[in-house]
Amino acid sequence: MLSKVSKDWLGAGFVTVLGLAILIFVPILFDLFEVLQMTKYVVLSLFVLSLAYIWGFGGILSFGQAGFFGLGGYVFAVAAINMGQTTVPFLIAIGACALFAAALGYFMFYGRLNDVYLGVVTLVVTLILWKLINHTAGPEYIIGKARLGGFNGIPSIPIMTLPWRPGQEMEPAQMFQYFMAILIAVYVLLHALIKSKFGRVAISIRENEVRTGLLGYDVRFYKLCIFSIGGAIGGAAGAMWASYQTFVDPNIFSLEWSAKCLIWVMAGGVGTLFGPIVGVLALEYLSFQLGQTELINNLIVLGTILIFLVLLLPKGLFPTARDLVVKVWRRRGGSTGKGSP
């Protein structure tokens, strides 16, 4: 019989080991182009974790997760261009996004906004950020050495430099490993957080907000914390994205990114951390393949997938498949769990 702690960590430990194996072996086994491609998936996986956490384990559905993604990217770009190294700008970007999320969260959670209102406010905040940044094309919008550039975006953003040797840019393989290490660390930390007392309270808020409040927990404060953590992770992913692309433009704030993030989480299943990462890999690979044919507009595909998921697979692909496997397993006479409620 497994002890409780090891049971909690069985799946996560497996995922961590898998992640470490990818971190070590991918740069050895694959060529440069493929490693660069995979770096993209790593960044987007981190991005999706931000929403997977706040939606799946805090019950907060943000329609504007791209807001933090974009903000992180822009703050990182401006700071990195001014400072010439990337470790401190990375931290600044994360901090800025956490603060922004906290400020926004104050208005939303202390105003006790719920479902529809929460979705609309987060969506509109992202839209306004998009408009604001689009508007900064003039030469007067300059922060230190960095011009914001409006709809032209910010070009030549520094590649991540080695944390212990500022000034030396990472090789693609090093960047892949650095990002992968961050992804694994965030995954493990989130898992630990979910299994902690804080995480259990957060889940109980998701299940029944009123009851949790009546038990004496300050629901608003917990939600604020969850939302800020999500914002910080989204910001980190944005900074990594900006550095990976060496370019960022206002479309990073677009509704398309927010929608993509939602679709990945829905496809992978709300309430897991690993599922949404699978969602990223599957759907990004699909849209990459479809994009190569150039026959089908990407938005049509995204929209169709979203409607399809909502109508037919509200639980998501990953949990549905898991349930199906369990069902078939039981029917074939496997006695696991039979009779237990």
Partner 1 sequence: MDFSLVVAIELLREVAGLILIATGLAVIFGMMRVINIAHGEFMMLGGYTVVLTTKLGVNIWVAILILAPLAVGLFGIIVERLIIRHLYGRIIDSLLATWGLSLFLIGFVTVVFGNTVEGVSTPFSGLAIGQYTVAIYTLFLIFAAMAFIASVYLTLRYTKAGLIARATMQNPDMVECLGVNSKIVYMATFGIGAAFAGLAGGLLAPISGVVPGMGALLIGKAFITVVTGGAAVVAGTLSAAGILGTISQAVTFASGPVFGDATLLFVALILLRLLPQGITGRIFTRSV
Distance CA 96, CA 107 (A): 17
Closer residue to partner 1, CB minimum distance, 186 or 266 = 266
Task: Give the 3-state DSSP-derived string for 42-82, with helices as H, strands as E and coil as C.
Answer: HHHHHHHHHHHHHHHHHCCCCCCHHHHHHHHHHHHHHHHHH
- Taking 3-state DSSP, the helix, strand and coil percentages for the chain, each rounded to the nearest 5, stand at 75, 5, 20
Residue 143, helix vs strand vs coil: strand
> Contact letters (x/-) for partner 1, 206-235, by CB under 8 A?
------------------------------
Go through 199-237 and write b for each residue having 16 or more CB atoms within 10 A of its CB, e for each that does not: bebbbbbbeebeebeeeebebbebbbbbbbbbbbbbbbb
Closer residue to partner 1 (CB): 246 or 298: 298
Among residues 17, 88, 185, 307, the one that binds partner 1 under rule CB under 8 A: 307
Q: Where in 84-123 is the site for partner 1 (CB under 8 A)?
A: 107, 110-113, 115-117, 119-121, 123
Closest separation in Å from C-beta 316 to partner 1: 12
Among 102, 306, 313, 321, binds partner 1 (CB under 8 A): 306
CB atoms near residue 268 (< 10 Å): 27
Site residues (CB under 8 A) for partner 1, limited to 120-149: 120-121, 123-125, 127-128, 131-132, 134-135
Q: Binders of partner 1: how many residues, by CB under 8 A?
A: 44
Give the closest residue to 179 by CA, choosing from 267, 55, 49, 53: 49
Residue 105 in tokens: 């969260």
Q: Based on the number of CB atoms within 10 Å of its own CB, is 107 exposed (0-12), middle (13-18) or buried (19 or more)?
A: exposed
Determine, following the binding rule CB under 8 A, whether residue 5 of this chain makes contact with partner 1.
Answer: no
Residues 51-90 that bind partner 1 (CB under 8 A): 61, 63
Which CB atom, from 120 or from 325, has the smaller least distance to partner 1? 120
CB nearer to partner 1: give 81 or 262: 262
CB of 239 to partner 1, least distance (A): 23
User: Could you tell me which residues are beta bridge partners of residue 78?
Assistant: none
> Smaller CB distance to partner 1: residue 170 or 266?
266
Query: By CB under 8 A, what part of segment 246-305 binds partner 1?
Result: 254-256, 259, 262, 266, 297-305
Contacts with partner 1 by CB under 8 A lie at 61, 63, 107, 110-113, 115-117, 119-121, 123-125, 127-128, 131-132, 134-135, 254-256, 259, 262, 266, 297-311, 314
